[in-house]
Structure 1
Amino acid sequence: MGAGRDAGAVSAAWDTDVLVVGAGLAGLHVAALLAGRGHAVSVVDKRTDLGRAVRTTGIFVRRTLDDFALPEDRLGPPIRRVALYPPSLRRPVVLDSDRDEFRVGDMPGLYAAFTDRAREAGARVLLGTRYAGYADGAAQLVGSDGAPSVAHARFVVGADGARSRVARDLHLDRNERLLVGAEEVFASAGTEVPAFHCVLHPRLAPGYLGWVVDDGEHVHLGTAGYGSRYPDGVWRAMRDLAAVAPGLPSRPDAVERRGGPIPVGGLLRRISSPRGLLVGDAAGAVSPLTAGGLDPCLRLSEHAADALDDALTSGDAGALRSYDGAALRRRFRGRVAMRRAMGLVRSPGAMEATFAALRTPPGQRAARSIFFADRSFPLPAPV
């Protein structure tokens, strides 16, 4: 059935064990895992087509590719090269790996595949259905035709993005440190060496970086940074970046435009309550330094599914206490500190001086550790 809406009308009131709000990879993955264990799971998303309004570049790192069964036909060619550029764009630091480090996903296709998995496991996926609030075990929903309904859910999962409404309704923490990102996707003219080009420029990407990813099939041109530091807006910075970006072939019309907020404050402390929990961007499950969120979202969803399965099987909502963001957050301290340090560099000249450290052997070792790391999201050790 792909990513279309389930057939049949939604009744005015219905029951479910778990209501998942948001049909991104995090929400669909936790739904499939729970439904596969025999629980009644419903997923709602206000979008009628999950392939539209994509908010991620879709870059999967090696650990994700090794550990998760992603459909091969929805992944682009492997990338082994990262090139880091200072504001002057001169003398990049080029890092080559002997392993396949990145692959860019066809996100509309992946959303369709994850939707199919959730449905095949027994989850009910209702697109074109907006979440309007939750209280006293009842979630208020509104269909695309404006018709209201009520889902009586034992637990609610907030997979509804960086500015999660579920987090507010469950009185959980919400993201405060956010970058804003924008991206355009083009058809590639082909490349001899697929590469991930990164531009460190405090004006074009204040506090973060600009990128050109060309895997030979598609080119992703993007920038992200602190919204208040884009004087003319993020899309104007995108146009300026396109004029100078390395590795960017002649630009045809964009196939797709993407954008949205990116949480970079690290995993939130309070991500569960007796009524439910948060996953993905809603939980702040994004690397504070690299802003990569696909590996964390899948791994945290598995941890969330385990906690919810325990609570549903035992009948004890206290089992959700094991889903503790404060305990996991400690593993992010170093990267949160590096994120803050990166945000302090505000002029191209200062960035050029800082970039000089990346040309040294220790600097290149550090860069390789960041881009080619064997680490993954810090889940708790098995009991």
Structure 2
Amino acid sequence: METADVLVIGAGLAGLRTARLLAQQGLDVLVCERRSNLGTGIRTTGIFVRRTLSDFTLPARYLGPAVRRVVLYPPSLRAPVELVSPHDEFRVGDMPGIYAEALAQATQAGAVVRMGVSYPSRKIRARFTIGADGARSTVARRLGLDVNKHLIIGAEKVFGVNTGGVPTFHCVVDPRLAPGYLAWLVDDGQNAHAGLAGRPDRLAAPLPRLLRTFMDRFPEMPSPVGPSHHRGGPIPVGGVLRRIVCTDGLLVGDAAGAVSPLTAGGLDPCLRMAELAASVTCDYLRTSDASVLRHYDGASLRARFRVRLLLRDVFSRLRRPATAEAAFTLLRTPSGRAAAARILFGDGSFPAR
């Protein structure tokens, strides 16, 4: 029988950061990851926003050029809305490199990381279990915690480019391609990420076919240079789950629903929730006082997503291209552009640091 203070299931950013912080506090931490290589099975586009880049130390060598320009397109692709920020708003990360760095840091802090190990692959006795195992968390079910029910499904192709233009984040709102979400192209001049996501019950065709259609038709799509990589998977968009902690463990990252319901961005909240999760776990294991777990209450954390949950509901009801075209009429007004800029360029964070 193997023992540990904390068993972390999943070696994504949330799991590795939580493990690192716990190990730095002197706890015996074991991380189990079903993948044998963190460079495979990647599901995130890897877009880091300004607040994340400001508040966290990320390896600069794994970050692409800064993106300040965002262009929003209606289904017709005509008369797009261009927004340019005075700040460096986004940088796309080389996720295999960033994961490798996070793994090295967790190991250096003292955490034991086992790759190619499913949960549970053998008998492990831990005082506390942390589920960092993604949107369809097995840990959540085994601990009797809430599970994500509102999911969109995404697919993406990543390839090198040599465009030399202004780094740009293109977003296409077209319910025929991406019902309930959008199609995107992030071209930072070095690499391009072309993808789309949508509600699985409304997809008009398999995701790979829809992605090929988007890449063939979108006029700004650059020519690939070198090899390409495919990514994809479920994205929780229902906000932070209400019940994400109990006396036996807690959830972080996608497993906890810590993803913006509107933008589907999860890297910033996953890093921030990892810090809160580590703090609460340390306090609980050192004091055995269950009342400290109330500081990780999903119902109260969920309140930060109230407005975006409402906007998610509105966005999800967008079914017809004509309705999307009409919405862009409002988006082109000064107030519409200001609202879009606030969503895309806002400096809020969750939970506040």
TM range (shorter): over 0.9
Alpha-carbon offset, residue 253 of structure 1: 6.5
Alpha-carbon offset, residue 319 of structure 1: 2.2
Please list every run of at least 4 consecutive aligned residues from structure 1 whose deviation after the TM superposition is greater than 3 angstroms. Answer: 251-254
Deviation track 1:62-119 (CA, whole Å, cap 9, x = no partner) reads 0000000101101011000000000010111000011100000000001100000000
2:24 is aligned with 1:51 = no
Partner in structure 1 of residue 312 of structure 2: 339
Aligned with residue 130 of structure 2, among 136, 157, 160:
157
2:170 is aligned with 1:197 = yes
Q: Provide the rounded CA distance (Å) in 2 between the counterparts of 1:333 and 1:352.
A: 26
SS at match of 1:130: coil
Unaligned regions of 5+ residues in structure 1, if any? 1-12, 132-140, 143-148
Matches within 5 A, 1:186-265: 186-251=159-224, 255-265=228-238
Partner in structure 1 of residue 23 of structure 2: 35
Deviation track 1:277-313 (CA, whole Å, cap 9, x = no partner) reads 0000000000000000000000001000010010112
Q: Provide the rounded CA distance (Å) in 2 between the counterparts of 1:325 and 1:263.
A: 15
Task: Give the TM-score taking structure 1 as reference length.
Answer: 0.90
Q: Provide the rounded CA distance (Å) in 2 between the counterparts of 1:246 and 1:280.
A: 35
Matches within 5 A, 1:299-378: 299-378=272-351
SS at match of 1:185: strand
Q: Provide the rounded CA distance (Å) in 2 between the counterparts of 1:280 and 1:22.
A: 10
Alpha-carbon offset, residue 331 of structure 1: 1.5
Unaligned regions of 5+ residues in structure 2, if any? none
Partner in structure 2 of residue 128 of structure 1: 116
Q: Provide the rounded CA distance (Å) in 1 between the counterparts of 2:159 and 2:103.
A: 26
Q: Provide the rounded CA distance (Å) in 2 between the counterparts of 1:93 and 1:191.
A: 22
Report percent identity of matched pairs: 56
SS at match of 1:34: helix
Q: Provide the rounded CA distance (Å) in 2 between the counterparts of 1:85 and 1:356.
A: 11
Q: Provide the rounded CA distance (Å) in 1 between the counterparts of 2:219 and 2:248.
A: 49
Alpha-carbon offset, residue 254 of structure 1: 5.1
SS at match of 2:83: strand
2:51 is aligned with 1:78 = no
Q: Provide the rounded CA distance (Å) in 2 between the counterparts of 1:17 and 1:190.
A: 50
Q: Is the 1:273–1:321 contact (alpha carbons within 8 Å) kept by the matching residues of 2?
A: no
1:108 is matched by which residue type in structure 2? Answer: P
Q: Is the 1:173–1:270 contact (alpha carbons within 8 Å) kept by the matching residues of 2?
A: yes
Q: Is the 1:18–1:42 contact (alpha carbons within 8 Å) kept by the matching residues of 2?
A: yes
Alpha-carbon offset, residue 252 of structure 1: 5.1
Q: Provide the rounded CA distance (Å) in 1 between the counterparts of 2:331 and 2:263.
A: 16
Q: Is the 2:161–2:223 contact (alpha carbons within 8 Å) kept by the matching residues of 1?
A: no
Matches within 5 A, 1:95-106: 95-106=83-94
Deviation track 1:2-42 (CA, whole Å, cap 9, x = no partner) reads xxxxxxxxxxx211000000000000000000000110101
Partner in structure 1 of residue 239 of structure 2: 266
Q: Provide the rounded CA distance (Å) in 2 between the counterparts of 1:128 and 1:371.
A: 37
Aligned with residue 6 of structure 2, among 7, 18, 41:
18
Task: Give the TM-score taking structure 2 as reference length.
Answer: 0.98
Deviation track 1:311-346 (CA, whole Å, cap 9, x = no partner) reads 112133442222100001111111001011011111
Aligned residues, how many?
353
Q: Is the 1:268–1:283 contact (alpha carbons within 8 Å) kept by the matching residues of 2?
A: yes
Aligned with residue 285 of structure 1, among 258, 266, 277:
258
Alpha-carbon offset, residue 189 of structure 1: 1.6
SS at match of 2:123: strand
Aligned with residue 64 of structure 1, among 52, 56, 68:
52
Aligned with residue 182 of structure 1, among 131, 135, 155:
155
Q: Provide the rounded CA distance (Å) in 1 between the counterparts of 2:225 and 2:176.
A: 25
Q: Is the 2:71–2:82 contact (alpha carbons within 8 Å) kept by the matching residues of 1?
A: yes
Q: Provide the rounded CA distance (Å) in 1 between the counterparts of 2:194 and 2:219.
A: 10
1:130 is matched by which residue type in structure 2? Answer: S
1:191 is matched by which residue type in structure 2? Answer: G
Q: Provide the rounded CA distance (Å) in 2 between the counterparts of 1:245 and 1:104.
A: 21
Partner in structure 1 of residue 82 of structure 2: 94
